A and B are shown apart, each in its own frame.
Chain A
């Protein structure tokens, strides 16, 4: 399946970009050593003017390139962690509801709906405002609005697989229910959930940026959303302050989507075959 995915051009582009981004994030301290918030030069040096500060400086004289590199770390880490938490939570709750069925299923699904009717971003806003901004509250806040999708998907897959012939056969053969669930049903319920995970990651990266933009990110870390927010005041006189991190953000989201698109296409083809 990996081979099939890799045959698609969008997977190459998306995957390549994402890999580069992850590398940059992982090596942030090597690429831009020191505190990315340190004041290193004159304020508002334009991009491509100074060799030492290739992307210029912001209003306080902080290196934009260092901010961009360290911001990648925050975006990638929060995006992946939030998506991971959301998928894990959603899978667990969804498949448990699917297996249990009956009243438990009903009750769990009402809870899922309760989460779904509140816009995810609003939920994240409320959560962070209540607990105070830090990296982990932001991750949890984003996951809180994103776990319902995987939960519903997992549940519907489990519901249909539960009644499949091979499951009935396994039951007749005397397999324990826990074994049926983990060895037979889960592996088959997983792929569609993974296919939506790209959307969840992209959404998480955007939500993180939006939270930082509104001043609800970790105030001691550089994030792209925060850079955009700080640049906004000088939008008319120094647009590059917002445009550079904005472009990085857009590129990341596009990369994640492209990769997700490739995976979804391959899965759809397989199902048809």
Chain B
């Protein structure tokens, strides 16, 4: 008897579980629902505070920046700002703002919101804005649709413009003013001006965003509901796509090894465009406090020991390019191929290590190192396994130290408990945003993705500082070309591969990958054909 009852209640519980994991089924108007795979749920979803791709992937559809990246000449498409102009002395930038824009709660968007966001959020709180807007003194608002940024030091307009898509997510002043910004409930249930409004978030299940009927661009957005289904297991994303349960998996949610198979599935397409402005680099970070690695010859030997072609082939399956230096080759403005190159050459690496005074011991080993691969991506972990073997081939015994994400960040960026580390560093359209940080000296311990290897080069530091206040775009570009040369010459770090992402999408989607930050742009023009 008790068996019967327990079985019935079990069925009840199972049905309840099924119902709770199923997405809400609603009758939908034209446009329909787009279901997207999401592999993580960021703890903090406010893009004005945490400017990272994981946050933008969801939040950029709700909270918009002043401008978005574009494939067109100039590289920018106006969003909340319609134009921007720098003064000749580089001490101010004037933004004209779009008129007739409404916040999701119905209040009008004005220059006061921009001033508030810049002074109260981007400059003091945002991971990138903290350094980028360090010299921002004031934002004047002569009228409701003009904002004038005043800087205490000359600031190149080129840099500000390149950074706009990443740093300038505008928050509503009337919601945040007078509250503790980092703890405001609107950080979870976002309020913005974007094409989609916040719906709900069921942890471990999905985010739901709904069409904003009052969006400023006419006849946009084209999709009624946007659902991010949380699928942390990468194999699950491919299976769900094939089953038609989701229509899009961005940020390489489908493992590279599965792409060939998936590309042959009817109704699905593999897209490699749309990530140009968020190129990752596979980078070997070096702790220059280590007596061996302090020696340039040892660093050169490490660079020569890596077979980049093999890495591209075996680890990235061809979906990457060889990196020549700290700026990826697909950057249209700053990249230069005229840098020191380190072709794969085991004998040369051995000779360099001999010259450096590290002869091979009886067992072929010269010295030992600790190697910490970042655990964030399959590719960084696999490259860790590869690098260990590549170094063994030249007589360096590298022991891998595995940590979880938090442990890795603490070990590398706070405690400096590493000799070599493998990082997926990001190039964000301008070297001053997140690239020079990787080699600049004097960055306080605990700052993630910055020079925590104790590298100091006064010449490089001076160059970085000069470029920060150089207003002429051509001169700036020249300085950064020199920067690339200096970095590859002295090897404060070793760039191995420029690597981008892939999307797998249903053939029903129109308007895919139409800007270089597509996956983290607002998707207002994305269409789902019936």
Q: Could you list which residues of chain A lie within 8 angstroms of chain B, going by C-beta atoms?
A: 35, 37-39, 43, 59-62, 129, 132-133, 215-216, 219-220, 232-238
Contact = CB atoms under 8 A, between A and B. Distances in A.
A60 B314 contact: yes
B375 interface: yes
Given A220-B400, A236-B261, A38 B389 contact: yes
Nearest to A216: B402
Contact of B314 (A35, A59, A216): A59
Interface pairs A-B: 4 shortest CB-CB: A219-B402, A219-B400, A234-B257, A43-B314
B235 interface: yes
B164 interface: no
Main secondary structure of the interface of B (DSSP, over half): helix
B44 interface: no
Contact of B389 (A60, A133, A232, A236): A60
B72 interface: no
Nearest to B375: A215
Given A43-B313, A62-B389, A129-B404, 13 more contacts: A37-B388, A39-B386, A59-B315, A60-B314, A60-B382, A60-B385, A133-B402, A215-B381, A219-B400, A232-B235, A233-B235, A236-B258, A237-B261
Given A60-B386, A233-B378, A237-B261, A35 B392 contact: yes
A249 to B, nearest CB: 20
Contacts of B382: 59-60
Nearest to A38: B389
Interface residues of B, number: 26
A146 B296 CA distance: 51
**Residue of B234, B258, B389, B401 with most partner-chain A CB within 10 A:** B389
B112 to A, nearest CB: 47
A61 B314 contact: yes
Interface string B392-434: 1000000111111000000000000000000000000000000
Contacts of A238: 257
Contacts of A129: 404
A59 to B, nearest CB: 6
B255 interface: yes
A233 B404 contact: no
A215 B375 CA distance: 10
Contacts of A232: 235
A60 B381 CA distance: 12
A218 B260 CA distance: 33
Interface string B368-393: 00000001001001100110110010
A190 B464 CA distance: 72
Contacts of A43: 313-314
B258 to A, nearest CB: 6
Given A39-B386, A43-B314, A233 B392 contact: no
A209 B213 CA distance: 53
Given A43-B314, A236-B258, A37 B402 contact: no
Contacts of A37: 385, 388-389
A216 B258 CA distance: 25
A40 to B, nearest CB: 10
Given A60-B385, A60-B386, A129-B404, A38 B257 contact: no
B346 to A, nearest CB: 12
Nearest to B258: A236
A110 to B, nearest CB: 30
Interface string B301-318: 000000000000111000
Contact of A220 (B258, B314, B315, B399): B399
B369 to A, nearest CB: 12
21 contacts: A35-B389, A37-B385, A37-B388, A43-B314, A59-B314, A60-B386, A60-B389, A132-B401, A133-B402, A219-B401, A219-B402, A220-B388, A220-B399, A232-B235, A233-B235, A233-B257, A234-B257, A236-B235, A237-B257, A237-B260, A238-B257
A237 B263 CA distance: 13
Nearest to B372: A219
A196 to B, nearest CB: 29
A64 to B, nearest CB: 14
A59 B311 CA distance: 11
Given A37-B385, A37-B389, A236-B258, A215 B402 contact: yes
Contacts of B400: 219-220
B261 to A, nearest CB: 6
A234 B261 CA distance: 11
A200 B381 CA distance: 32
A106 B403 CA distance: 40
Contacts of A62: 389
Contacts of A215: 375, 381, 402
A237 B392 contact: no
A39 B393 CA distance: 10
Contacts of B315: 59-60
A38 B392 contact: yes
A33 B337 CA distance: 43
A35 B313 CA distance: 23
A258 to B, nearest CB: 33
Contacts of A133: 402
Contacts of B392: 35, 38
A215 B376 CA distance: 12
B406 to A, nearest CB: 10
A202 B298 CA distance: 46
